[in-house]
Structure 1
Amino acid sequence: DGKDGIALTYTIRPDAVWGDGTPVTTKDVVFTWEVGRHPKTGVASSELYERITSIDADDDKTFTMHVNKRTCDYQGINDFDVLPAHIEAPNFADPAEYKNRSAYETDTTNPALWFGAYRVTEVSSGSHVVLEPNPTWWGERPYFRRIVVKAVGNTAALTANLLSGDVDMIAGELGLTLDQALAFEKRHGDKYEMLYKSGLIYEHIDLNLDNPALADRRVRRALVHAIDRDAISQQLFEGKQPPAHGQTNPLDRVYFDGIPKYAHDPKQAAALLDEAGWKAGAGGIRRNDKGEPLRLEIMTTAGNKTRELVQQVLQSQWRQVGIDVRIRNEPARVFFGETVAKRKFTAMAMFAWISSPENIPRSTLHSDEIPTEDNGWSGQNNTGFRNAEMDKVIDDMEVVCEKDANQALWNRMQTLYAEELPAIPLYFRASAFILPKWLKGVTPTGHQYSTTLWVENWTAE
């Protein structure tokens, strides 16, 4: 029709059915798009749904998706998680209440919600989820008759559960931290299969740029100069988790090594703070011309011993340059569900992003993706970073597909990130998988698509 964009035609497998036997059809696809693009549902990946201008259903199994612009990753619709319209449509009558009324929240064990190799058959909030083979699954029948996914509040309890036999394995994506896994291997490694996988998990500290002190780039740079990331890597992780200087992993094809890097330099940190108007005061804490102390709060997930230890190291290093940092942590459910998602942290929030290769950081760096009450807290630009050049670079990265030109944009994005520092890069994590020796078929990926997505390939011997 002459409009800039692209049309993609997909065919749903003829044997694809929901767990109650209802066929998966184009009605489900269109309904999913309507839910995802509605501003009141607060879907985290709303940008994907907004990019789709329309979906034409040719028949029950074939549809054409119209995307509003030609992008280099135009086929990247992995976040388009199809919903069962015959179950969810009534719950969408009031879009603002959809998240609360969805059957995925209120009737999780309903077979009609699932079409994968396994389906959820039991949920105990805060305790466990039981998965059993889905009898309507059209692929090869999975090996295990029952899988229990347990929720364990902290890593110490997780280790105890493993040793007692209450759990069989610890997945690397959300299991023990590297230092804990290394210590575990020294004591019990002969009893388990230990797999270490370097990956794209980026441990960092989001900075709330609405904080008056952190709005000054000189203060942000001083925070980074004041910390010794090399020492943290060596002393806590035996050098297996290298310091990060940006949000793009050196393992990624698009990584650019020419970005500004901030070496551990307390004198430079002090000079930057002086320049920003934060002068050394009584008790060694810096104050501005109003006499207000340079006091910041750092938050992370309570019970994660490694993060809590890193917090203490950072607190001490920042104290040496006159920054008073207070620690306040929350359970992961509250920290991620409320504090980070709704930008309630006053200064610093430490956590990790799990990325995919060549992942354009629109959701975390574009100003359109700042979560607000008006947009239903969608988007993941939790720092509140607003930069017109970054917005343009990200927009161009999606549509400039020629290799050299695209790489130039990646270079500029990484440089801007390092110059502006909306977040403090800490390190890239290595994941540790602790498996029973009888479990086979578990293949760590190192990126956002976790090993459990291939659970139907797991076997025992």
Structure 2
Amino acid sequence: MINRVWTAFRRAAGLVAVGVCLWALVAGGPARAVEPVEGPTLTIGITQFPGNFHPAIDAMMAKKYILSLTRRPLTAYDADWHLVCLLCEELPTLENGGARLEDIPPEESGLGDGKGMAVTYTLKAGARWGDGIPVSTRDVVFAWQVGRHPDSGITNGELYRRIRAVEVHDGRTFTLHLDRVSFKYNALNDFKVLPAHIERVRFEADPARYRTLSAYERTTEAPGLYFGPYRVERVTPGVSVSLVRNETWWGKPPVFGRIVVKAIENTSALEANLLSGSIDMIAGELGLTIDQALALERRHGDRFQFLYRPGLVYEHLDARLDDPILRDVRVRQALMYGLDRELITGQLFEGRQPVAHGPVSPLDPMYAAEGVPHYQYDPARAKVLLEDAGWHADPSGVRRNADGEPLRLTLATTAGNRIRELVQQVLQSQWRTIGVEVRIDNQPPRVLFGQGLSRRTFQGLALFAWISSPDNVPRTTLHSAMIPSADNGWAGQNYTGFANPEMDRLIDALEVELDPAARAALWRDLQALYAERLPALPLYFRANTHVLPRWLEGVRPTGHQDPTTLWVEDWRIGPGGPLDGSGGGLLDGSGGDP
């Protein structure tokens, strides 16, 4: 839909001279043709294509992976899981004076206690948009205004609404006045700075339609939208995104002249493209499953390097809780007892991907090792729960309710992902033994994430992964205020529709608790409540596998939601690389169609 609108706009602008002038004025100039660039081209394969290109609307790793080549967040977690500044000069803390507690009017306090915080940041010196305009506090204020607007559709609008005011000191320094005390007061990973000189006129024209009016959708190739090491050169919808060095980048120059990210949604085809030289590497964030990577390494370990990083990738089943079958917690609990997840991880992943007992990984510091219920494989108990819920087995073994309706669920996942489709078949088979029928309804990732989940049109169960940051409070996925709807512009990621007052209370309390011991107790209670109520069905934690050419150096997998591309300027070409005279499948960047 978005790409069709974008194409139509391009055609209209080519026919109407006034449209061309307006486009150049508002979007920072027309899209550039593919031109020769200095330096080699790196071609990366991923399994999904972005549903859109606006950095703050819809959360999708494919988009974040690509846009991290073109932007820098104010803060991010690095490969060592430390919070660091990327667009700011220094991380503000209570200890260094960059952050302070402040008393505020109770009516302006998010918790009504009259307590808030003031946190001061200074933007990196020399940061400029791709059209040469400095990245400034004007862009910060505009992004805040967009993010807090109820009709804008910004995914994590809650982050912006918690900022009472933005105090501007000069073109680079600003103070955020927060409406509460929070232990993550200086983590602005999700604050997306936007180019006010391009986007303001589009946003103010119609905030409710900003999602489709944004220059990120209408003129994705405009250089002024980007301020990272690369800018988007060309988008081939559903196929690839070509990026070239950003002439206005202020940091360390990246080594590659052009980077092409290709979306190959079938993982078997992704592997074939790697072996044929059509792509040079497979991103671990959206690439091969661990079983495929292990098999590939056994066959071609001499050709590629394989980096395995366990992390915070939570593979699970979101349950549509307003579904008449799934709204009964006894049914959800029965589904958990009917799954032999140890068998799944043992046979499919050689035990390298641990069973998940909830959304918090054992690698995360807030994981509760005790006091949280675990679901072991117990089909007999599953059957008892289903009987109690009014689902009785007929002579054929199919369970039906008092009206004779069968216990039948729809299960969707990302089409073409071989391991997820295999997991689906296992789930279907195991649940059949307890009398539950499962109908498979898979969709392309851009459809599942862009419509099925974000607009809550999916039915039954959806199999996908959440990728989080360390110590991440799950407000957007579990708080009742984060259920996407037309009323809130489809903001939020609580796709299940989970609304539980106790969960809301725990999330609210967690965010403002500064004492580590008290916070650990809250985390334990949250994980126990999650296990009891099961808004989603936990499966396993995924290990990402990065498959790289042997000559590529400097790639450091993070294991969380901040992708390796945030540090692309540190990637280097080692012995045997294209600058050594051996291309390894790389294009020379001399133009043409990458």
Place the TM-score, normalised by the shorter chain, in its bin: over 0.9
Q: Helix, strand or coil for the counterpart of 2:427? A: helix
* Equivalent pair of 2:476/2:482 in contact (CA under 8 Å): yes
TM-aligned CA deviation for residue 284 of structure 1:
0.7
**What is the CA–CA distance in structure 2 between the aligned matches of 1:12 and 1:308, rounded to whole Å?**
45
Confirm or deny that 1:140 pairs with 2:241. Answer: no
Report the TM-score when normalising by structure 2. 0.77
Which of 399, 405, 415 is residue 302 of structure 1 equivalent to?
A: 415
Which of 153, 174, 185 is residue 265 of structure 2 equivalent to?
A: 153
1:97-116 equivalence runs, <5 A: 97-116=209-228
Q: Which residue does the alignment assign to 1:432?
A: 545
**What is the CA–CA distance in structure 2 between the aligned matches of 1:78 and 1:346, rounded to whole Å?**
32
Q: Which residue does the alignment assign to 2:24?
A: none
**What is the CA–CA distance in structure 2 between the aligned matches of 1:178 and 1:14, rounded to whole Å?**
41
TM-aligned CA deviation for residue 349 of structure 1:
0.5
**What is the CA–CA distance in structure 1 between the aligned matches of 2:223 and 2:484, rounded to whole Å?**
33
**What is the CA–CA distance in structure 2 between the aligned matches of 1:186 and 1:355, rounded to whole Å?**
30
Supply the AA of the counterpart residue of 1:25.
S
Confirm or deny that 1:418 pairs with 2:531. Answer: yes
* Equivalent pair of 2:414/2:444 in contact (CA under 8 Å): yes
Confirm or deny that 1:254 pairs with 2:366. Answer: yes
Supply the AA of the counterpart residue of 1:326.
R
Which of 6, 9, 21 is residue 132 of structure 2 equivalent to?
A: 21
* Equivalent pair of 2:265/2:415 in contact (CA under 8 Å): no
Supply the AA of the counterpart residue of 1:387.
N
Supply the AA of the counterpart residue of 1:198.
P
Q: Helix, strand or coil for the counterpart of 2:255? A: coil
**What is the CA–CA distance in structure 2 between the aligned matches of 1:383 and 1:23, rounded to whole Å?**
41
TM-aligned CA deviation for residue 100 of structure 1:
1.0
**What is the CA–CA distance in structure 1 between the aligned matches of 2:250 and 2:259, rounded to whole Å?**
19
Q: Helix, strand or coil for the counterpart of 2:232? A: strand
TM-aligned CA deviation for residue 90 of structure 1:
1.2
**What is the CA–CA distance in structure 1 between the aligned matches of 2:544 and 2:396, rounded to whole Å?**
41
Q: Which residue does the alignment assign to 2:93?
A: none
1:14-413 equivalence runs, <5 A: 14-92=125-203, 93-258=205-370, 259-413=372-526
**What is the CA–CA distance in structure 1 between the aligned matches of 2:354 and 2:490, rounded to whole Å?**
33
**What is the CA–CA distance in structure 1 between the aligned matches of 2:324 and 2:387, rounded to whole Å?**
16
> Aligned pairs, how many?
461
Supply the AA of the counterpart residue of 1:272.
L
TM-aligned CA deviation for residue 13 of structure 1:
2.6
Q: Which residue does the alignment assign to 2:563?
A: 450
**What is the CA–CA distance in structure 2 between the aligned matches of 1:234 and 1:337, rounded to whole Å?**
32
**What is the CA–CA distance in structure 2 between the aligned matches of 1:301 and 1:364, rounded to whole Å?**
19
Identify unmatched segments of 5+ residues in structure 2: 1-101, 105-114, 575-594
Supply the AA of the counterpart residue of 1:2.
D
**What is the CA–CA distance in structure 2 between the aligned matches of 1:140 and 1:33, rounded to whole Å?**
29
**What is the CA–CA distance in structure 2 between the aligned matches of 1:115 and 1:69, rounded to whole Å?**
31
**What is the CA–CA distance in structure 2 between the aligned matches of 1:13 and 1:242, rounded to whole Å?**
40
Q: Give the ranges of 4+ consecutive aligned residues of structure 1 lying more than 4 Å apart after TM superposition.
A: none
TM-aligned CA deviation for residue 218 of structure 1:
0.9
TM-aligned CA deviation for residue 103 of structure 1:
1.2
TM-aligned CA deviation for residue 431 of structure 1:
0.8
Residue by residue over 1:243-292, the C-alpha shift from the partner in whole angstroms, topping out at 9 and shown as x without a partner, is: 11111000111101221011101000001111111111142111111211
Q: Helix, strand or coil for the counterpart of 1:296? A: strand
TM-aligned CA deviation for residue 151 of structure 1:
1.5
Residue by residue over 1:417-451, the C-alpha shift from the partner in whole angstroms, topping out at 9 and shown as x without a partner, is: 00111110000001111100010001111111111
**What is the CA–CA distance in structure 2 between the aligned matches of 1:346 and 1:16, rounded to whole Å?**
45
Report the TM-score when normalising by structure 1. 0.98
Q: Helix, strand or coil for the counterpart of 2:177? A: strand
**What is the CA–CA distance in structure 1 between the aligned matches of 2:122 and 2:566, rounded to whole Å?**
21
* Equivalent pair of 2:265/2:417 in contact (CA under 8 Å): no
Supply the AA of the counterpart residue of 1:148.
V
> What's the RMSD between the two structures over aligned residues?
1.1
**What is the CA–CA distance in structure 2 between the aligned matches of 1:439 and 1:42, rounded to whole Å?**
39
**What is the CA–CA distance in structure 1 between the aligned matches of 2:229 and 2:450, rounded to whole Å?**
28
**What is the CA–CA distance in structure 1 between the aligned matches of 2:220 and 2:411, rounded to whole Å?**
35
